[in-house]
Structure 1
Amino acid sequence: MKTLNAIALSITFISSATAAPILATQDGLLGLYPVTDMRLTNGTCADCPTIPQALWYFQQELIAVAKPDHPVAGFSKTANAQQDVKSWSANPSAQDLNALPPLVWLGSNEVITKAELGADGKLIKLDNGGNMAFNIVPKISTNLSYFDDSSLKFFSERPVRLRGETTKAVDDSSQFTARTIWPLDFNIPNNQSAHPLSNEETLQTLVRANQGGAQSPYQTRVLWSRDAGERHDWKDKAVLGVMLNGAQGDDDEAHGGHFGIVTGQMEADGNWSRWLVNNFYNLDAYGEKGIVSAVTPADKYLMDLNNGQSYYRPSYMLVAVFKSQTLPQEYQAAINRVYNHFYRHDFVYQHAKANCAGISVDTLRSLGWNFPTRGNGGLLKATAAYFYVAATSGSLKSAHDIYEYITTEDTQLNPAAAFDALGEDMLSLAQNKTSRTLSPLEQTMSNDIEAIIMVHIPQIPSSRAFGQAPVYSFDEYLKRAPADHSQWKIIPTEPRPFPDELRDGLALTQEKPNLVPWPVGLLSFGLVFLVIWALRKLLKKRKSVMIPTYDA
C-alpha cells in the first residue's frame, strides 16, 4: 500500500492538471459522520483506537478509523450485545451518540466524485474535461463471475463515481484503477410527490414485481410524506434505511437474500453512495467474494466489482427521512457497539438465530422498536423435521440446523420477512395507525418521519446469472431449491479460525449448541418409555398363558 504522503503528492500533481482523485478522507460525510474526523490505515496499525479483534480481519484492507481525540464506540465486557444496547440506550451520553464506528471498511484510498467511462473502458473523462487512463482491480480467484462487456456498456452510458487509487499504467503514466463504480443516476430526488400504495399493492408485491426486477430500471417512489400534496426539500435531513438484497441466480444457499440497516443524510443532488450500510456476514469463513462483515459505504456495499451486492442480485431499500437525526444517530451508535461484540466473538454469526437480519432487528428491538413478530413454523413441524433429517442424513448437526430454521421467529430468520414487517410498521407509525402503546423510540419515529421512500435497485449486468426476489419463508425456500440436495448449486467457502489469543471475556464462555433440542429429547424419552411399557405388557401377557407339557 502506498504511504499517505505519496498518495497526497500524486493527487496534488494530478489535480493540477485534471482535478481528479481526492483522498477518501476529503469526501464529505460517511453516513452521519464527517469523514475528516477519520484517517486511512489498515488492520496492521499499532496506534488505532479500534479493538485488536476488529483490526485482525482487515490486515490487508484499507479502513477508516477515528483520528486521535475523537470518541470511538465502546461496549460492555460483562453484558451480551443486546443487553449492552438496552442498558446503554436508557441514558446515552452526547459523546456516545457521536462516537465513531470501530472502523469503516472503504477498501480504496481515493475517490473520483464524477467521471464518464469511455466505451472502450480505457479512459475516463473527468468533470473538468480532462482525461485519465482507466483500469479495474483484478477478479478475486474464488469469485465465479465478474465485470464484462455488458457491465462496461451499462456504466459508459451514464456519469459515474469511483473508488480506487492512482496507479501506474504500462507506459508509466498515471491511471485510475477502480474498485467501485457507482452510477450517479442511481440517486434519490429530494422533492418528489407521494404515490402511496394502491389497494392492490403491498411492499411484497413491489419486491416481487417482474420476478424481483433484476433487469428492471432503477426507480424511486415516495410511498408516504407528511404533506402528501406538496414537494419538500429534504436536503441535510437524516435517514434510516432498510436494505433488502434479493436471491442470487446461481447459488441455492442464497435464496433468502441479504439484509442491512442504513444510516445517512440526504444530499442536494440525491447522491446516497456515502450512506453507511451495517453489513453482517459470517466472520468464521472466507467468502468467495471477499466480503468481511463491517460498516461500509453504500457504493462499496452495492457496487464493489468483486463483492458488491448489485453484481449478484436485485436490491430494495425503504428510506425513512427524519426531521432530526435523533433516531438514525441512536441506531448507528448502538450497532457500532454490537460490532465490537461481534468482532470479539462475544457472539457468533448463526444462519438461523443470529444472521444479517436477526442481528439487525434484535438491535432495533433492544432500542425499543417493538414491531410485530410473525411467528415460526412450530415445534411439531420442527421436531418431525429433526427426526427425518437425522434419519436420512445421519447427521445430528444437520437435524439441529433444520430445527433451528423452523423454530426461529420469521423476522429474525428471513431478510424479506424482516423488510416487510419493518416497512409495514414504519408506514403505520408515520400515519399514526398503530394501536399498541408506543415506546419512546416509536413515539420519536411517529413524530419525526417526514417521508418514506421505496428504492428499487436493479442488478448490474455482468457475467453473473441474474437473480430474483428473495423468499419470504422457509417453506418457500424449500419449494424454490431443488428437492434433491445433491443438485443444489453451492459456492463452497473456507473456514477462517479466530485466534485463541484474541479471545477474552464472553468469547471464552461460548456455549456449544445442544444438538438435541429439549422437545426432541422429551419426545425421544416418551417414545422410549412407550416402547418399554409396550414390551413389559407383552411379556406379562406371555407369562400368563398356559404352556402345555408333553409326557414322553
Structure 2
Amino acid sequence: MPTPAAQQPDPSIRDALAPGLLGLYSTERFRLATGRCHDCLAPEQALWYFQDEMIAVAKADAADYAPRLRAQDDVRAWLAATGGQPRNQPPSLLWIGSPHVAEGRLTRAAVRGSDGVLLEGGGAVREVELTPRLAGNRSYVDSSSLDFFADSEVKARGVLREGSFVARTLWPKRYAIRAAAPSQPLMAGETVESLVRAQQGGATAPYAVRTLWRRDGGTQPLPLAGKPVLAFVLNGAQGDDDEAWGGHFAVATGRFGAAGEWDNWLVNNFYSLASISEKGIIASTLPMDAYMADLNSGQSWYRPSYMLIAVLKDQRAPALYQEAISRVFSHFYRQDFHYRHASTNCAGISMETLRTLGWNIPRQGGENPLKAALALPYMALKEVSLASGQTAYDYLKTERTELLPFAAFNAIGSDLLGRVTAGQASGRLEAQLADDLEALLFVRIPQFPSSRAFGSDPVLSLREYEQRAPANRADWQIVPVPPRLFPAALKDPTAPRERRPASVKATWIWGAVAASLALVSTLALRRRRARAAVKPPARD
C-alpha cells in the first residue's frame, strides 16, 4: 500500500489533493477514490472505466446531466435554465492517476551501483523509480529523457512506496509563464498556421511563449498569477503512427499559479472508449501535467504540442465551458453517443460544445462534399464493405473544423485575433470572451526526448494526409489495440437514440437511386423482351 505522504517529514512530497486548485476548483471540493467506489457522485458508467485508477471525485454539488436528452440538447437546456451563467459546479470525476505529488531538482546519480535518479527537495534527497512501461507502449523513457530533465526543477505525480518515489509523470517546472510579454502581433505573411508549422512542427525546438495580443497594449510584462484562462491545446502528428497524422485537440480551463504554473489546469480529453489504448489513455478530464507528461500516455512523450491561451479577467467563460463539457462527458461515458474518427472526434465534440455555448466560430464546410457522394459507393464496392464507403463519405463531408484538430485550432486562433478582439462578437460565450480577454498567448511545447521517433506538425487537410501517409496502406505503421467491451447492464435503455452520421442518410439515398435504376432497367428489359416476342404477321 502507498505510504501516506502526510506522515512523511519530507516537505517536497504532498498528497495529490493538498491545498490548491484543480482547474478552477479548490482541491478541498474533491476526495480521492478509485472507480470501485459505491458512494461517488459520478455516473456508474464513468466509474467503470477507472475501476483500478486513482480518481478525484467531487464531494458535493457536481456538474449534473439530463439522461433523457442528447448531449448537446442537454447543454442547450442547461444554458437556458442558468441564463448562461456557470453554477460553480466541478466535474464529478477527474482522472488523477496518482495519490502523491513530489517536487524538487532531478539529478542522475549512482543508486545501488547503477545509473539512477534522485529528487532533491525540501532539504531531503529521495530515490526516484519510474512507473513501468505498458506492454503495448512501443517506446519509453531512455537516457536522453533523463538528460532532458536532469539538474532541473520538476513536478512528479506518483506514489511514495518504501522510501522511494515511484513517478508516473515528470513535468518541467521551467515551463511556468510568470508574465505576458509585450505584444508581438503576427507579421505580414504570418498566421497561426505558420507558427505551428515552423521548424516542421518544432518537436526539437526550444519551449517558447509569444504574446499575440494584449488589450492594454503595454510595453511592460503583464503578471499572470491567478489569472483565469480558457486554453486550446493542439497536439501534433506522431512520428511512428500513420493513423495519427491528424494530431489531437483538447480544451483546458484553470488559473495560473502564483509563479505562473499551468500544470494543474484541467484538460478535457476526448478519446475513443471502444478500444484499450496501447499507451493507457482513457478519455477524461485530467490535470495538464498528467495529460502532457504521464510516462506512458502523456502527449509530450510522442509529439510536439501547441497552445493558444486566452488570458481573462473573469472566470465565467472557462467555468461555463467546463460545466457544459462535464455534462457532455457524462453522456459520453454512458455511451449515449460514440467517438467516431470521421464525424464525432476530439475536435468535433469540443467545437460543437463551444458553438452550442454561443461561440460562432466560422465554419469551413466539408473538404469535398461532391467527392463524398461518389466516394460512398466507390469505396463500398472497392473494399466490399459498406462501412468503408460510409467512413469515406463522412471524412469528406464533415465540417473541417469538427474533423481536423489543426483546422479547429487554426479557426479558433483566427477568430480570437479577428472578430473577438475587434469587438464583433455577438454570441453568448464569444461576447463573454470579447469582454474579458486581456491577452492571447501562443505556446510551443517541444516533444520530450525518448526512444520514440520525433513527431511533427499535424495535417490541415485530407489531401495533406494522403501526401504524408504511405500510398500503400499495407506499409502503414499501425498499432493494433484490443476492444473494450462496455457491459450491456450499464447501458440505459431509456437514453435518447444517438443521431446517425450523415453517411447513413446518404446510404439510403444511394440505395433508393440504385433501386430506381434497377427497377427502370428491369422494366426496360421486360419491354424489350415483350416486343421481341410479338412476331410480325406472315405475308402471302
Tell me the TM-score normalised to structure 2 length.
0.93
Q: Which moved more, 1:486-495 or 1:535-544?
A: 535-544
8 Å Cα contact 1:32-1:329 kept in structure 2: yes
Give distance in 2, aligned partners of 1:94 and 1:375: 28
Give distance in 1, aligned partners of 2:63 and 2:478: 37
Aligned to 2:94: 104
8 Å Cα contact 1:63-1:106 kept in structure 2: yes
Give distance in 2, aligned partners of 1:546 and 1:467: 78
Whether 2:12 is the aligned partner of 1:20: answer: yes
Give distance in 1, aligned partners of 2:71 and 2:248: 21
Whether 2:48 is the aligned partner of 1:59: answer: no
8 Å Cα contact 1:210-1:216 kept in structure 2: yes
8 Å Cα contact 1:248-1:257 kept in structure 2: yes
After superposition, what is the alpha-carbon deviation per residue over 1:194-222, rounded to whole angstroms, capped at 9, x for unaligned? Answer: 11111110000111111111111111100
1:505: how far off?
4.7
Give distance in 2, aligned partners of 1:363 and 1:284: 22
Whether 2:82 is the aligned partner of 1:88: answer: no
Give distance in 2, aligned partners of 1:479 and 1:529: 41
After superposition, what is the alpha-carbon deviation per residue over 1:375-432, rounded to whole angstroms, capped at 9, x for unaligned? Answer: 0034320122122211221111111111111111111111110111111111123421
1:206-225 alignment to 2 at 5 Å? 206-225=195-214
8 Å Cα contact 1:396-1:516 kept in structure 2: no
Give distance in 2, aligned partners of 1:394 and 1:404: 18
Whether 2:155 is the aligned partner of 1:166: answer: no
Give distance in 1, aligned partners of 2:204 and 2:509: 45
Please, which runs of 5 or more residues in structure 2 have no aligned partner? none
Give distance in 2, aligned partners of 1:537 and 1:94: 66
After superposition, what is the alpha-carbon deviation per residue over 1:53-73, rounded to whole angstroms, capped at 9, x for unaligned? Answer: 111010110000112xx2111
Aligned to 1:409: 399
- Partner secondary structure for residue 152 of structure 2: coil
- Partner secondary structure for residue 460 of structure 1: coil
1:548: how far off?
10
After superposition, what is the alpha-carbon deviation per residue over 1:457-487, rounded to whole angstroms, capped at 9, x for unaligned? Answer: 1111011111111111122212221121111
- Partner secondary structure for residue 295 of structure 1: strand
Give distance in 2, aligned partners of 1:429 and 1:119: 54
Whether 2:122 is the aligned partner of 1:128: answer: yes
8 Å Cα contact 2:173-2:261 kept in structure 1: yes
May I ask how many residue pairs the two structures share in their alignment?
Answer: 533
Distance 1:533 1:219, change over 3 A: farther
State percent identity of aligned pairs.
44
8 Å Cα contact 1:250-1:489 kept in structure 2: yes
Letter in 1 for 2:482: E
1:531: how far off?
3.9
- Partner secondary structure for residue 521 of structure 1: helix
Distance 1:99 1:390, change over 3 A: same
- Pick aligned residue for 1:7 from 1, 4, 9: 4
After superposition, what is the alpha-carbon deviation per residue over 1:20-51, rounded to whole angstroms, capped at 9, x for unaligned? Answer: 31000105111101112111110011211211
8 Å Cα contact 1:137-1:178 kept in structure 2: yes
8 Å Cα contact 2:272-2:283 kept in structure 1: yes
Whether 2:472 is the aligned partner of 1:472: answer: no
- Partner secondary structure for residue 126 of structure 1: strand
Give distance in 1, aligned partners of 2:475 and 2:4: 49
Q: Which moved more, 1:25-34 or 1:223-232?
A: 223-232
Distance 1:534 1:217, change over 3 A: farther
8 Å Cα contact 1:318-1:454 kept in structure 2: yes
After superposition, what is the alpha-carbon deviation per residue over 1:320-349, rounded to whole angstroms, capped at 9, x for unaligned? Answer: 001100101100011111111111111111
- Partner secondary structure for residue 497 of structure 1: coil
8 Å Cα contact 1:119-1:156 kept in structure 2: no
Aligned to 1:500: 488
Give distance in 2, aligned partners of 1:95 and 1:429: 22
Give distance in 2, aligned partners of 1:215 and 1:521: 51
Distance 1:490 1:235, change over 3 A: same
- Pick aligned residue for 1:439 from 427, 433, 437: 427
Please, which runs of 5 or more residues in structure 1 have no aligned partner? 169-173
Distance 1:375 1:93, change over 3 A: closer
Distance 1:327 1:547, change over 3 A: farther
- Pick aligned residue for 2:292 from 302, 315, 328: 302
- Partner secondary structure for residue 477 of structure 2: coil
8 Å Cα contact 1:241-1:319 kept in structure 2: yes
Aligned to 1:202: 191
Letter in 1 for 2:197: R
1:122: how far off?
2.5
Whether 2:143 is the aligned partner of 1:149: answer: yes
Give distance in 2, aligned partners of 1:507 and 1:265: 35
Distance 1:96 1:240, change over 3 A: closer
8 Å Cα contact 1:117-1:159 kept in structure 2: no
- Pick aligned residue for 1:185 from 132, 149, 174: 174
Give distance in 2, aligned partners of 1:220 and 1:515: 46
- Pick aligned residue for 2:256 from 263, 266, 279: 266
Aligned to 1:238: 228
- Partner secondary structure for residue 111 of structure 1: strand
Tell me the TM-score normalised to structure 1 length.
0.91
Aligned to 1:463: 451
Distance 1:190 1:91, change over 3 A: farther
Letter in 2 for 1:62: M
- Pick aligned residue for 1:483 from 451, 464, 471: 471
1:310-459 alignment to 2 at 5 Å? 310-432=300-422, 434=424, 438-459=426-447
Give distance in 1, aligned partners of 2:403 and 2:85: 34
1:271: how far off?
1.2
8 Å Cα contact 2:67-2:495 kept in structure 1: no
1:67-86 alignment to 2 at 5 Å? 67=59, 70-86=60-76
After superposition, what is the alpha-carbon deviation per residue over 1:341-366, rounded to whole angstroms, capped at 9, x for unaligned? Answer: 11111111111221111111111111
Letter in 2 for 1:201: E
Aligned to 2:238: 248
Distance 1:452 1:545, change over 3 A: farther
- Partner secondary structure for residue 118 of structure 1: strand
Give distance in 1, aligned partners of 2:156 and 2:481: 29
Q: Which moved more, 1:156-165 or 1:463-472?
A: 156-165
Distance 1:512 1:199, change over 3 A: closer
Give distance in 1, aligned partners of 2:455 and 2:531: 64
